[in-house]
Each structure stands twice: as C-alpha cells, then as structure tokens.
Chain A
Amino acid sequence: MITFTMNGLEVTVEEGTTLLEAARFYGIDIPTLCYNEGLSVYGACRLCLVEIGPPGRSRLYSSCTYLAAEGLIVRTHSERVIRARKMIIELYLALCPSSKTIQDLAARYGITRVRFKPKYEDCLQCGLCVRMCEEQMQAKAISFVGRGVDRRVGTPFDRQSDQCRQCGACMYICPVCQARCQGPQEENPVCGACLNLSPPCLDKHEDVMCYLDPCVACELEGETD
C-alpha cells in the first residue's frame, strides 16, 4: 500500500494506482476528456492536471499518467490547477463548441466567455477512438496521421480501411459525436443554456430528487402537465 497526501488529507491506495484513480476513489472530481477506464492512459487532454510537490517546488502533471508514490504531496484543485484548467476549457470551447461534453464542462467551471476565434472543429484529438479501435476492437483501422498542428485522425492513404468493420465504436466513444450541442451561435461559442437551467425537480419538490441532468422523468412529467 502507498500512503500520500491529497488536498491535505493522508490517503492510502494500492501500488500501481494512478493519481486520477486515487482521487476518484476518494470522491474527488477531476475532469477528463481522453481518459477511459477500459483503455490505456494517454495523458493528452491535460484536463486532469494536478499540482505535485511541496509549495514552491511543485509542478503540474497529468494525474491519469502519474502513479501514486509514497509521500507525494498532491493538490487537485489548487489555484494554479484551476487557472490552467479554465484556460484549457476555454481553448476547447473555442475549438469545438458543438460538443455537449465541452459545453457542460465549461458550465461547470463557469466559463462565460471565449477570447479566441471559434473554430467549430469536430475533433479534439483525445485519441479515444484510436485506442478504442486498437485495444477493444482489435482492428487498428485508424491512427493519428501527421504531427503538430496538422495532426489528425485518419486511415492509411485516407482510404476505407480493410481493417474497419464499421462497428461504430469510435463514434460511440467520441466526446463530440456522442452528444452534440446546438446552442452556440456563430459569434459566441458559449452555449450556457444548461448552466441557466435550475434543476427541474425544484419546480415540483422541495428537494432535488435525482442527479440526472436533464431529468427525463421531470421533463416527461412537465409535458403531461
């Protein structure tokens, strides 16, 4: 077992546990885009950053790729982490405003403006589809092509791959394809609609009854009214 400090608390996890897994085990919410329990870790979306090290000598690392080690001092929500995370979400929002995943994330972190020119891309390059295709579907039909700014997901010679069985797993796992957000306008990439919704339960009940957002039951109830 490994003991280390997370947000001031002493925590204990099994050897081989990543900091992200440890944080989630202890109920600390760290956002991710490129992480999936069933796939290898990738460390590319940079949302799961945490601050590691004693004050003054600390650095930010992606928690999904960092194994818990004895005596680490980890802060998952420090000022530095939040500042970086907010900027990263703003960059994502400018890149891909049509993803509901991103809009939700932006709402959660209170991002109300985007200072970059919106691009309306359909790919975040989180690499989930590439790993899904290779690791779970054993197809390896797609991969990253090119590098730097020109990097993208594609098939060899941009042709229909013989390896592709059209299983659709890549689309299933994609944070952009799976849920589209129709909210953002041409000029302003912030949707914010979900942000402004009060939990529907409160219209009917004194307490919030569930954590579904939006709650299908409430919505249906509303329709029948």
Chain B
Amino acid sequence: MQFKKVLGLEVPCGPGGMTTVSLLQTIQEEYGYLPEEVLQKAAEETGFSLTDLYSIATFYKSFSLVPRGRHRIVACTGTACHVRGSDSVIEEISRVLNVKKNSTSEDGEYSLECVNCMGACALGPLVVVDGCHHGRMTPAGVRLLFTEDKEKEEAKAGTAGLEK
C-alpha cells in the first residue's frame, strides 16, 4: 500500500490516490477527533476544499468534530438489542451519567455513542464501556454498573490522593 504525507501523517492511498475520506480517517486516528484548525491546514496543504471536508466529516458517522469523553460508552441499538430492550438501557445511561445520546457529557468524562449492531447479538442489549463488553444489560444493571463505577473511581481518586 502506498502512502502520502500530509501534515506529517501517513495517509494510505488506494488505486485512485489519496481521498478525502482516508485523509479524514488518518487525522481522526491521530487526534481522536477532527480539530477545526487541523482540517483547515489539511485543506490548504492538499488542495481539497474545506467545504468538502466538512461536508464529508458530517456525513459519515465515524467522524467526530468534537473530542470524545474520557470514558467511551458504546451502546448497541441493533434490531436484536432493540427487541430485547436497549432503548430503556440507553435512557438509563443518559440519566445516570447525565450525557445525551451521541454526545459527550459537559465535564468531558463520558461520551455515549449509539451504534447499529456490533454483531454480538447473543449478548443483547450490549453496552461497551472503554472496550469492556457488558452483555444482557437491564436498566437496573446500568445503575449497578455505573454507580459502582463512579464509587470505585472516587475511591481510587481518594487513595491516589493519600499516596501523594
């Protein structure tokens, strides 16, 4: 596979050369999201129009124009999860962590992404927290998971403080 250097990043090229999509994917991989000034610089350097880059960045769901939260929660909304009650699970996550669907909480702690099927339908409703799968979730399970999580965090923060 061939690469082209843009802003010091290696952008993979297909048979048709470098595309806007692969450029954005590479930027997102590097920064975790698509920062405005990086897009502007990338547009200048490559000759792609910023208008196109922005249009494409907002069209595809995997691109984010804002930084993600420190903890990334991915909730599956596939059909199998839906018929097993994923809606109330997601609502409960929103309520417990005070984070809206497909956005990041104000304190930047949690981001809640809803995706269409992760292909682990046997585990539905499925919630993935920082890469860790939690299958067969219920609203009560959410409370258990996150209130515990928060307490643990707080406890950890507490001990860390003591060690200092």
Contacts and interface: CB of A to CB of B under 8 A. Distances in A.
Indicate whether A and B are direct neighbours in the complex (CB within 8 Å): yes
A145 B54 CA distance: 7
B51 interface: yes
B51 A155 contact: yes
Nearest to A155: B51
Contacts of A142: 51
A142 B51 CA distance: 7
Contact of B58 (A140, A146, A161, A163): A146
Contacts of A163: 49, 51
Interface residues of A, number: 13
A145 B58 contact: yes
Nearest to A152: B58
From DSSP, what is the main secondary structure of chain A's interface residues?
Answer: loop
A147 B50 CA distance: 18
A157 interface: yes
Contact of A140 (B36, B39, B51): B51
Nearest to B54: A156
Interface of A: 140-147, 155-157, 161, 163
Interface of B: 36, 39, 49-55, 58-59, 65
Given A145-B58, A157-B36, 18 more contacts: A140-B52, A141-B51, A142-B51, A143-B51, A143-B52, A144-B59, A145-B54, A145-B55, A146-B59, A147-B59, A155-B51, A155-B54, A156-B50, A156-B53, A156-B54, A157-B54, A157-B65, A163-B51
